[in-house]
Structure 1
Amino acid sequence: MTNVDVAEKRRIASYWKPMWQVPQLTIGTAILVTFILIVLVGPCFVANDPLHIQMSERLQPASWNYPLGTDHLGRCIFTRLAEGAKLTLGVAGIIIIVTIIIGVPLGLLCGYAGGRLDSFIMRVVDGIGALPEIIVAIAVSGFLGPSLTNLLIAIIAVKWIEYVRLVRSIVLIEREKEYIEAARAAGFGTWHMIRRQLLPHIISPVVILASLDIGKIILIISSLSYLGLGAQPPAPEWGAMLNDGRPYFQTIPEMMIYPGLCIMLVVMSCNLIGDGLRQLLNIRHKKI
């Protein structure tokens, strides 16, 4: 192993060492990992069908067979929360991936190429961004019809503009710096400039924005499902479970408290992770 390899390993180690020294990142990761483990392992010990209706078991209190009780249709609340976690987090993950795939290339194209294409795309971005995200999402979801697929399309339609704006602003700043001029003078092509010179400056801000966006997306999914525009019965989505428990809040408040706590913990952990990543990945605070 050469001295260069040893130095590179030390540099990487010094970069990741502060990860456990960022309290927000540590706490947020611990909460999210614990929650995911409960969701994955819990159903192995409580083998109840989250969709099976048993009217004879409706509104049962917590017991060995039903750790969190049952809902108004006799379905196990615990297994429905676990299944809803897979549904909600899975949809949020798909939305984040698709918005990054759409937003990052468009932002790179707008910032690096400029011209009429940049003006056209930014006018579209400004038009969509003129209204609050939730209002646009409700309008698109209502127009397409209530379903989880249409909800996914509606959220993607409003989230991609943030990534276009972020990436474009970074590219506009970086393309005027001396190292870009030097790369152009050396004869490097456009693809090399984007991949080797600009993309490394974009990854960290996009990761931070995506980690913070997951919490927002989960709130939008739950809100629209609560309004009946998202997941449809009998899908065990957290927002839909809140809506199911609304008529029973004064008698069986647990039906709304449990899914509300799940939403709160996941959103809080995502926000803590985003804040921690912002401290960890901020170039000005790196100690390499």
Structure 2
Amino acid sequence: MSSNNNTLSAAAALIQQGRSTRSTSRWKILMRYPLMLIGFTLFLTLILIVIAGPYFVPNDPLLIQMSERLRPASWDYPLGTDHLGRCIFSRLAAGAQMTLSLAGIVITATVLIGVPIGLLSGYVGGRLDSFIMRIVDGIGALPEIIVAIAVSGFLGPSITNLLIAIIAVKWVEYVRLVRSIVLLEREKEYMEAARAAGFGTWHMIRRQLLPHIVSPVIVLASLDIGKIILIVSSLSYLGLGAQPPTPEWGAMLNDGRPYFQTIPELMIYPGLCIMLVVMLCNLIGDGLRQLLDVRNK
């Protein structure tokens, strides 16, 4: 009895040691990528500012005051005013909420659409896989921004159509990623053992395949947020996304374009916001790729 207890204690100690080693290893990886920690911290700070921003902005971002147009930075207007007398700082804060919300909706929708289709295509195979991949190859044959512009232009300028256009081109990446992982994993021995044990398709997908997909999808999604923000801003800049007077960074770039030579700040401020957020997303995505060892799995 004492021998069994000692064996169990030793096994528990080994398990705990293994967990501690993995935790320590990941912490060391985190320390090797301080830029990711900085990016993640700044991105969370930005999210908090976006959530609380509307309650603390100094002015109404939609209020038009022609008597205050093109004012320089002051106590009342921290970054000055635009060509319609609207507070630029307040519009940037409201635009952050709009742009990040649109990016969040798109990334959520693309993951919910692309991951199940990729799982089904890779696991079932056959004619269904061929049919799905022909659609994916057709959509992916052209650059994303070109297809998004075409779809958005066909549907008409609006935020809803903007979301539809971006989702229509982004889901194919997740189908390809998930399908490739499923094709790699489905013929391995543990999958054969699960089939021999009589487990059904739902169990095989949920318990055997899904854990292998989570990490790569998280990394791709974190990198995609920056790309989506660029596409949202680009379409809004072209007049195919957010419509006046909605505050959105791409639309603000377009509004400031006629005044670039005289008051470049009208374009510089929203451009800097877009650049900063995209850079933070790339830092986070690159760090997560290293942390989760996606390339080595």
TM-score normalised by structure 1 residue count: 0.93
State how far apart, in whole Å, the 2-side matches of 1:88 and 1:277 are: 23
State how far apart, in whole Å, the 2-side matches of 1:142 and 1:284 are: 38
Question: Could you list the runs of 5+ residues in structure 1 that have no partner in the other structure?
Answer: none
Deviation for aligned residue 1:192: 1.1
The 1:210/1:283 distance shift into structure 2, 3 A limit, reads closer
Which amino acid in the other structure matches residue 205 of structure 1? P
- Is 1:231 aligned to residue 242 of structure 2? yes
Structure-2 residue corresponding to 1:207:
218
Q: Does the CA-based 8 Å contact 2:53-2:94 persist in structure 1?
A: no
3-state DSSP class of the match of 1:71? coil
Deviation for aligned residue 1:285: 6.2
Structure-2 residue corresponding to 1:272:
283
Q: Does the CA-based 8 Å contact 2:61-2:88 persist in structure 1?
A: yes
For the pair shown, the structure with the greater C-alpha radius of gyration is 2
3-state DSSP class of the match of 1:64? coil
1:64-99 superposed Cα distances (whole Å, 9 cap, x missing partner): 111111100010001100100010000100100000
Counterparts of 1:35-46 in structure 2, within 5 Å, are 35-41=46-52, 43-46=54-57
TM-score normalised by structure 2 residue count: 0.90
1:144-177 superposed Cα distances (whole Å, 9 cap, x missing partner): 0000110000000000000000000000000111
State how far apart, in whole Å, the 1-side matches of 2:68 and 2:142 are: 46
State how far apart, in whole Å, the 2-side matches of 1:40 and 1:136 are: 32
**RMSD in angstroms over aligned alpha carbons?**
1.9
Q: Does the CA-based 8 Å contact 1:226-1:239 persist in structure 2?
A: yes
- Is 1:101 aligned to residue 112 of structure 2? yes
Structure-1 residue corresponding to 2:132:
121
The 1:205/1:64 distance shift into structure 2, 3 A limit, reads same
- Is 1:138 aligned to residue 141 of structure 2? no
State how far apart, in whole Å, the 1-side matches of 2:228 and 2:109 are: 13
1:206-241 superposed Cα distances (whole Å, 9 cap, x missing partner): 000000000000000000000000000000000000
1:33-91 superposed Cα distances (whole Å, 9 cap, x missing partner): 33334444555444310000011111111111111111000100011001000100001
Which amino acid in the other structure matches residue 126 of structure 1? D
Structure-1 residue corresponding to 2:23:
13
Deviation for aligned residue 1:9: 5.7
Name the stretch that deviates more: 192-201 or 38-47: 38-47
Q: Does the CA-based 8 Å contact 2:30-2:37 persist in structure 1?
A: yes
Q: Does the CA-based 8 Å contact 1:134-1:220 persist in structure 2?
A: yes
**Number of residue pairs the alignment of both structures matches:** 285
Name the stretch that deviates more: 224-233 or 45-54: 45-54
Identity of aligned residues (%): 77
Which amino acid in the other structure matches residue 10 of structure 1? S
- Is 1:247 aligned to residue 258 of structure 2? yes
Name the stretch that deviates more: 20-29 or 250-259: 20-29
Structure-1 residue corresponding to 2:202:
191
- Is 1:49 aligned to residue 49 of structure 2? no
Which amino acid in the other structure matches residue 124 of structure 1? I
Structure-1 residue corresponding to 2:159:
148
State how far apart, in whole Å, the 1-side matches of 2:130 and 2:296 are: 34
Name the stretch that deviates more: 45-54 or 236-245: 45-54
Deviation for aligned residue 1:20: 4.0
Q: Does the CA-based 8 Å contact 1:103-1:161 persist in structure 2?
A: yes
Structure-2 residue corresponding to 1:34:
45
Deviation for aligned residue 1:30: 2.8
State how far apart, in whole Å, the 1-side matches of 2:275 and 2:137 are: 31
Question: Could you list the runs of 5+ residues in structure 2 that have no partner in the other structure?
Answer: 1-8
Q: Does the CA-based 8 Å contact 1:89-1:218 persist in structure 2?
A: yes
Structure-1 residue corresponding to 2:3:
none
| More relative contact order, 1 or 2 (CA 8 Å, 6+ apart) | 1
- Is 1:157 aligned to residue 204 of structure 2? no
Q: Does the CA-based 8 Å contact 2:226-2:278 persist in structure 1?
A: yes
The 1:285/1:167 distance shift into structure 2, 3 A limit, reads closer
State how far apart, in whole Å, the 2-side matches of 1:79 and 1:214 are: 23
Which amino acid in the other structure matches residue 93 of structure 2? A
